[in-house]
A and B are shown apart, each in its own frame.
Chain A
Amino acid sequence: MRESHTGTSSGEGWKLPGMMVRRVEREVYEIFIGPQHPGSGHMRIIVRLDGDVIVEADPDIGYVHRTMEKLSEVREWLKPIPLLERMTIIDACNITVPYVNALEKLMDKSPPPRASYLRVLLCEINRVASHLYGFGIFGVFLGHSTMYMWAFGDREVFVELAEVLTGARLTHTYPIPGGVRRDMPQDFPEMARRAVRYMRRRLEEYRKIFLDNPVIVRRLEGVGVIPRNLAAELGIVGPNVRASGIKYDVRLVEPYEVYDELDFEVPVFEEGDALARTWVRVEEIKQSLNIIEQAVDWLERHKGEPVIPKEDFDKLPKLHKEVYEKTGRVKLLPAHASMKIPAGKAIARGEMGRGEIVYYVESDGGTTPYRVRVVTPSARNAVIFKYIVPGHRLMDLPAIYGSIDYFPPESDR
């Protein structure tokens, strides 16, 4: 509690008016790494310190809660797609594909193969961009501004690729129940291959300046170790759990879209510290680049196939069909906006850049969902602050925060 709120300047001995000091225990004091802080993102961590060692850390999230679950209940079935995308806008396709999969499970519809490949292509582009964003923020937290600038500069390459494919840099809204909204332009495969070659060169540079930098290695090695059993018990997701020795990736465990036809590996490290988590992300970028190449090859070979199911395409009027033939854009009928989905309950999951996302969609046969429950990877990773951070020093908090790639808007939904 504050000693005195309106303090006058010093006059009374050693009392410090105005500094919010709360005596918790004899030697423990509490600081707020709060929303208005250069090193916290939009969340607050209440940290209790004994000298320089953290004894308790309480994540106080909810600063950017945007009530997505409640809003989904009053919007028609298609409208939650741009809404839910805004949770993690940097990873937009990966978030909406599981929701669309859940709707397709309830409707018993499945997208044509070309649409699946296009979804996978955009998902992997977004995964690379999201990992680069994570590296950038991680560099900022460690004071390494060169990593920050390089990661964000290289992310531009992939954001522009996504813009050529979908028309929007970040807010794609690409998948719809049944297919995708737009076909691939003619010159896209060549651009994609150039981007992949460029990124492979740049990963070498990252290794030299960041991953093998002795200062960075000193700060990350042995920090925030999550042993294998604790990782399984706490239920954390994503590259964090793969760095602790558990080989779990939704693309392997329950393949959705066309991931069972593609050839890629899932990197697993054993140490479980912050350095291992960073290495997992770097290896995942390499695997995503492989998948982009394979997807672009398949799409080039199978030209001319539809991107929405045949029965939907036949119902379109002549003008819409002409637009599709000429430009590759799918113009939906207004009836799509108020479609009804048969009653049922479905679960669909996907693998985002940061981990596994789970959707629970319940329908009662109407035009709006009855209940949409979304559990994002960062919401499940928030327990790391409570259980892993205590015992480390104050300067390890940015290192751990950056290495688990926690994204507050995604966690608060």
Chain B
Amino acid sequence: MILSANTKEAARSLYATKQRSLLALVGIIIGIGSVIAMISIGTIVKSEALKQFQELGTDFLTIRKISSSTGRSSIRLADAVGLPAAVAAISTAAPWIQSFGEFVYAGKQVGSGGMLGVTAPFVALYKLPLASGRFLSDLDFRRSYCVIGADTAQAMRSVGAKQIVGEPIKLAGRLYTIVGVLQQTSSWGMRPFNANQAVFVPITTAQSAFDGPEIESIIVRVRSDAPHTAVTAEIDRYFSRKVKGLEINVESAKNLIEQMQKQQQLFALLLGAVGSISLIVGGVGVMNVMLVSVAERRQEIGIRRALGARRGDIQGQFLIESLILSLLGGVFGIALGFGTSYGICLFSEWTFLMSPTAVVLGVGVASGVGILFGFWPAYQAARLDPIAALRAG
């Protein structure tokens, strides 16, 4: 068959000029690699987001004080705790305070990071599972009790702690007693903190112990049928009645999803731009190599024409050659793209996924580039005058 003979011939010709062929592929490899990385990271981020929402649900709002609020106005603990009683759509409210410090056990540092002053509903809202002991309760009012994350507990065990619950631990210079240990969770997820490396103390204790004892944020769970915009308006009214000059911002999980999507779109746009430019550059590289190949093989074209090759046969031969060249680039590019996204996943602590769409798209784009940029050289080869081509050489 002409097709299989052409394919064999094309492969042989590319192999004969392998150095040139490989150099021409660099652009294609980078182009396809970017496209694959773009698609694959998009898929991974989507699945990560889904996982996080499955873990936390979407029926919560985050209330934050806007820093432009006038004077010394701030969210008061009593107002925050009073939210569910005042706003019917809110089922739970958990204000929290954050500070940072080092965690020291038995004279050795066992961690450092976020110290969170929280109320009892916090654990339920953020779905933090307990490994042992208990979580904080309202009865721990101003007591020096704390709950620690899994990483910190692990660090304590590695410096010799047999039992964790009941042990003393020094947090930012103050001594606390551990009452509970959390299970390992996904590092950040939708939470604004890393639960595995954080410690939790009663918010009343935090108000006197932390450096910045102001409530910055409240997380509230909304009854699922309540429209978020109506609830947001009601929260606004509640706080403007309670504290003069306090301005707050209410963020819903939906907003967060939108933000995440925007971010991902930007990322995709960037990779897409890099990908398209490299593909054009790569395509021109392929075209260049093919033009050289046509010029070098003018006599061969003449001989083939004399032996009965039609223009279409010659065009097919060179198109297949550029197609093989581009597909080769596509294969390397797919490997590069998956390698890149694997690296990004390692860095971002995401679960790596192989997206079959990306493979199909990569192969498709590579073939497209091969045919598009191979067409002109192949057309030129086919239009060569057989007599002039025979004399060349």
Q: Do A and B come from one complex?
A: no
Residues of A within 8 A of B (CB): none
Residues of B within 8 A of A (CB): none
